[in-house]
Chains A and B, each alone.
Chain A
Amino acid sequence: MNVLVCVKRVPLTGGKITLTEDARAIQTRHLGFTVSPHEECGVEEAIRLVEAHGGSSAVLTLGPPEAEEQLRDMMAIGIDRAIHLVTDGSETDPQATAASIVAAVRAQEEPFDLILFGTESADAGNYQVAIRVAAALGLPCVNGIKGISMNDGALRCEQAVAGGRDVYDVPMPAVVTVKEGINLPRYPSVPGRMRAKRKPVAASQPARSTARLPMIRLVLPESASKQAELLGHGADAAPRVVEILTEIGVMP
């Protein structure tokens, strides 16, 4: 089973987001980077599927040269090889992103049985790249999945919905987007990190196209920065907390 998982490099934003002067990006000078949480679980799922059913795994990203760091991280936990579509780091809209991924998938020698994405990226949250890729490749696409199992050569996919779970049976090849919670991703080991240094990264420059959903600027929401009422320090605050719970009307 050949599995591809697509990831995006995003900053670890911490407690407060600040913007660059031109308001076109988050100020990342003091931030680390990671991949979107849903995608981290997609990577873990790809590794588990290959461990269980054989085959090979690849990770793909569209991003700046620095995104190789994330590709190495994903190979450190067990992905076999990486595809890096190198950009100048500026924003790429969802249609252009999907077109670049489609071109890269078509250029592969061996087709993929399964292409995994996160349901949405942590930063832009456009909710559509996977669906566009599937449509262009003529593949079925199932979204927001929290459980994948193999059932008679097809994928049995489960989705958490209000009141329970919805189940889909999807033939392969297929595109599946996953949500965090589908698994608990493993951490890289030191030998894993050493091996990742020697794994192949195929880098290329994707064709650029005109954005049809261009980002003009970023805006920080008006934060209702509150002045919290200090109820006290340590255990001594408990009586005042109970008064507040009574006021709000949630005391049993």
Chain B
Amino acid sequence: MILVFVETDADELSQQAFAFAGGLGGDVQALAFDPAEAYAPAAWAQTLVEIAQQRSASAVIASGTDRGNEVLAHVAAKLDQPMAANCTAVTPGDPVSVLRTRWGGSLLEEAQVHGSPLLLTVAPHAVTAQALGALEVVTVTESASELDRVVRVVEQVPAATGGVSLTDADVVVSGGRGVGSAEGFSVIEELAALLGGAVGCSRAVTSAGWRPHSDQVGQTGSKISPEIYIACGISGATQHMAGCKGAKKLLAINPDAEASIFASADYAVIGDLHEVVPAISAEIRKARG
């Protein structure tokens, strides 16, 4: 029997983890915590440990999300067993061998997992989602210790609404070091506004203090999947590409024809963004009449 920790039954990444577990063979049971339970990673992990032991689970699996990785790492720490995070494939055997992502997906690693039960999380979008079947809803075990319970969400603060969010936008217009300054982003903002999109940026830009970190697309920023990503003055470092590889189309605007971003782009404009981007905005206004 394989246990899959899911956040909600409608969550696509949880459904992917469920499908991944199904690929291992045997019974798969999806488990979620009662929505009335405040998130408490160590207490949730203690609960999963007890359920896994009662049912002699051969594996405990979660999605490679912040919470999936966090809860499963607590399970691994409690059981003193290895855990493989963000796997894209698994080969049964003794030992089990996995393929897992490094560098936000820019590199893969083949690793062996010497432990039992098998503990792993599933990299987002490695497999196709599958409906969960019967979802078992559980509550935190009474035997969770005070230390397990002390880290829990005590307050949820809703985000201020307004504007299109980076992760939901169909169009993201993003600027890199080539923008040159905080003020230089006015042309990026103008194009994004005309297209009803969001403004993004590279890590070089947030490190320079030109834009807030919440605008950053990349391995340590947002992972986005718009219909089109318009990358302006961005060279295409692996750190950045890890955040935008989900984009359906990529248009790169860069004066350097050798920039590595062009190797990942669907469309290329070679030129200075400060000339190209305002020209596109003007053309859109003209087209709208």
Seen from chain A, the residues whose Cβ lies within 8 Å of a Cβ on chain B are 13-17, 26, 37-38, 93-95, 119-120, 122-128, 131-132, 134-136, 138, 140-144, 158-161, 163-171, 179-181, 184-185, 211-221, 223, 225-226, 228-239, 241-242, 244-246, 248-252
- Cα–Cα, bound, A208→B22 (Å): 36
Within 8 Å by CB of A220, from B70, B108, B264, lies: B108
Contacts of A134 in B (CB 8 A): 77
- Check B238 against A231 for contact (C-beta < 8 Å): no
Residue of B nearest to A136 (CB): B77
Shortest distance in angstroms between A184's beta carbon and chain B's nearest beta carbon? 6
Cβ–Cβ contact A16 & B238, under 8 A = yes
Contact B272 A234 (CB under 8 A): yes
Q: Is the CB of A127 within 8 A of B220?
A: no
Closest to A241 in B: B280
A127 to B248, CA, bound (A): 28
Interface of B (DSSP majority class): mixed
Within B103-122, the residues touching A (CB, 8 Å) are 103-115, 121
Q: Does B10 sit at the interface, judged by CB under 8 A?
A: no
- B200 CB–A CB distance under 8 Å: no
Known: A131-B77, A184-B209, A252-B288. A245 touches B195 (CB 8 A): yes
B270 in contact with A179 (CB, 8 Å): no
B103 touches A13 (CB 8 A): yes
* Distance of A218 Cα from B220 Cα, bound (Å): 21
Q: Tell me the complex Cα distance, A220–B108, Å.
A: 6
B34 is an interface residue with CB less than 8 A from chain A: no
Residues of B at under 8 Å CB distance from A?
A: 39, 41-42, 66, 69-70, 73-74, 76-78, 80-86, 97, 99, 101-115, 121, 147, 150-159, 170-171, 194-197, 203, 206-207, 209, 212-214, 216, 219-221, 227-228, 235-239, 248-249, 251-252, 259-272, 275-276, 278-280, 282-284, 287-288
* Complex: chain A residue closest to B249, CB-CB: A248
- Give the distance in Å from the alpha carbon of A123 to the alpha carbon of B86 in the complex: 13
How far is B275's CA from A232's CA once the two chains are assembled, in angstroms?
A: 13
The reply to whether B216 and A13 form a contact with Cβ atoms under 8 Å apart is no
Q: Given A167-B156, A235-B276, do A219 and B70 touch, yes or no (CB 8 Å)?
A: no
Cross-chain contact B110 with A217 (CB below 8 angstroms):
yes
Contact between chains at B86 and A234 (CB < 8 Å): no
